[in-house]
Each structure stands twice: as C-alpha cells, then as structure tokens.
C-alpha cells in the first residue's frame, strides 16, 4: 500500500490518502500520517468513494512535520566511506558501530518541491540518495531479531548536505545536514508488507538526467536490523520516527573535480519499487 500526504490544488488543509490503481487517491479519515502510522497498517480502511485524481493534488512529504529530528546513518556503504577519505582527517577507521546524526524537522521537503540553495550560507550543496525507514511500533532495546517488525514502511530520501558547513562545526554534521528544505522525501510511504526484500533495492541519483549515484541496498555496511537495534538501545523509537540509512558512492564533493548543485538543476532521487523524487534546485 502506498500512503501519501497531499493538498488539493484548489486549496484546503493537508490530507492523507492511499494511492490506488489509475492514479487515484482514496482519502483516509485520519487527521495526518502520524495518526495513520500510530494506528497501524491493519487499521487502514480504504474507502471506495470520494476518490481524488492525482492530477488534482499537490503531494507533500508523507510526514510533512516529523515529531522529532530525522535520524540518519553516516558512512553506511563501504565505497562511500572510501571516496570520502580525502576529505577527512587521516586515521579515521571503519566504524565498529553505526554513525548516527540527525536532520532538523524543518529540513523536510516535498517530493517535487524546490530545494533551496541558501547561496548566502553555503556554496557546496550535495546529493545523497538514501532508503528511508519509517518506524511503526515503537520501543527501546529492540533486538536485531525483532527489528524488522518495527518497520511500518519505506520511502525515498535525499540527505541533501551543505559540505563546508558539515565540516566546520567541530565535526558535528547536524548543522550542515539541516538547512531548510534539505530533506526531500516521499513521494509516499510504501508499507513494509509490500516491500518484499528491502535488502535488494536499486537506488540512484541523477542530476539533469546524468546518473551520479547508482547502487543497491545490499551494499549497506550495517543492515537495517543492526541499525534499529543499535539506535534503540536505551533510546525510545516512536511511531512515525524516520531513519535515513546512508548513501552509496557517487556524491558530488568526492568527484574529480568536485561537483555541487546549481540553480536550475533537476535532482532526481529514485529507489526501484518505492518511487522517484524530482526536485528543482534553487
């Protein structure tokens, strides 16, 4: 099931709905996506009436305003860790535990919205395609064996990053990862029951149609159960929490010469079977 948050083009408050065959949306009664997630997949009743054509709506991020920061995993694909070596202090070893950081809730952006450049603040805006995990059932000290049962669904995320800011604040990445609009996500949440194998999903970034990142989630260094177990150790995960699970190689700053997003660029972020984000830059 594909769950989305939308606003009618003619106006009105955001609504949540189910995407049906033929590009139609069945509106749900729930006030927002967090309420849908809290009630659980089995509680979703798809109405047969009042369907809305996709052409009549603007899609928002499936969770337009998360309750807390978006959890993120750094350095979770080996090739990406290696390509970043030249930008790091020497001697940084492969982590024995997942690297966690977060993005501010205000960074969340829609699947087809503009991604701001913040030209007065950064000159180095970069891309990072990532598999987004949406937590369903909350909990702490979740075991690896139980971790997958806590996943409500998946979405596409681009962990857009302001590279010089990422590194100039005492090696705390938070600020450089949290500029407004720098977390496009969506285009919808695909519920976990529909994602047969989250450990084998092709993911890709394209800029102006040119492939920049192309990999598969099977190359993740820390797999989803380990990420959830490690993150939830002594830290409560709640329904609707978002975990962005790291990016593969091919980011702009590690290229020769380095590449960064420019005004007017078209950033496409895709995971096969989940969906495609199309964000114009600037």
Please report, as ranges, the residues that interact with Mg ion according to CB under 5 A: 128, 159, 247
∠39-65-198 over CA atoms, to 5°? 60
DSSP state letter for 137: S
For Mg ion, which is the closer residue by CB, 30 or 160? 160
For Mg ion, which is the closer residue by CB, 100 or 112? 100
In sequence order, which residues have a C-beta less than 8 Å from that of residue 182 and are 6 or more positions away?
103, 107, 109, 115, 116, 125, 160, 161, 162
Query: Which strands, in side-by-side order, build the sheet including 202-207?
Result: 210-216, 202-207, 266-271, 275-280
For Mg ion, which is the closer residue by CB, 128 or 268? 128
Which residue's Cβ has the minimum distance to Mg ion?
Answer: 159
Q: How far is the CB of 104 from Mg ion (least distance, A)?
A: 14
For Mg ion, which is the closer residue by CB, 69 or 247? 247
What sign does the dihedral 95-169-265-5 (CA atoms) show? positive
Burial state string for 25-47 with b = 16 or more CB within 10 A and e = fewer than 16: bbbbebebbbebbbeebeebeee
55 strand-pairing partners: none
For Mg ion, which is the closer residue by CB, 128 or 249? 128
Q: How far is the CB of 130 from Mg ion (least distance, A)?
A: 6
Cα distance between residue 267 and residue 129, in whole Å: 10
Q: How far is the CB of 139 from Mg ion (least distance, A)?
A: 24
């Amino acid at each position: 099931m594909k769950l989305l948050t939308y606003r009618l083009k003619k106006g009105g408050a955001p609504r949540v709905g189910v995407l049906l065959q033929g590009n139609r949306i069945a509106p749900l009664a729930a006030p927002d996506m967090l309420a849908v997630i809290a009630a659980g997949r089995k509680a979703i009743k798809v109405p047969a009436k009042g369907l809305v054509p996709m052409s009549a709506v603007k899609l928002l991020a499936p969770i337009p305003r998360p309750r807390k920061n978006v959890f993120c995993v750094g350095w979770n694909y080996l090739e990406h860790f290696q390509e970043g070596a030249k930008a790091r202090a020497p001697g940084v070893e492969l982590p024995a535990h997942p690297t966690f950081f977060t993005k501010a809730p205000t960074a969340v952006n829609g699947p087809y919205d503009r991604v701001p450049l913040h030209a007065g603040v950064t000159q180095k805006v970069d891309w990072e395609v990532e598999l987004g995990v949406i937590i369903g059932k909350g909990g702490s000290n979740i075991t690896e064996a139980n971790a997958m049962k806590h996943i409500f669904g998946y979405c596409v995320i681009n962990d857009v990053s302001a590279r010089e800011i990422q590194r100039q604040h005492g090696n705390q990445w938070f600020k450089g990862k949290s500029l407004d609009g720098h977390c496009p996500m969506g285009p919808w949440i695909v519920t976990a029951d529909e994602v047969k194998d989250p450990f084998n999903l092709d993911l890709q970034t394209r800029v102006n149609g040119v492939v920049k990142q192309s990999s598969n989630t099977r190359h993740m260094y820390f797999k989803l159960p380990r990420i959830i177990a490690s993150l939830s150790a002594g830290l409560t995960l709640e329904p609707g929490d978002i975990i962005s699970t790291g990016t593969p190689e091919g980011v702009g700053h590690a290229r020769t010469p380095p590449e960064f997003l420019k005004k007017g660029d078209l950033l496409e972020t895709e995971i096969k079977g989940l969906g495609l984000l199309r964000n114009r830059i600037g």
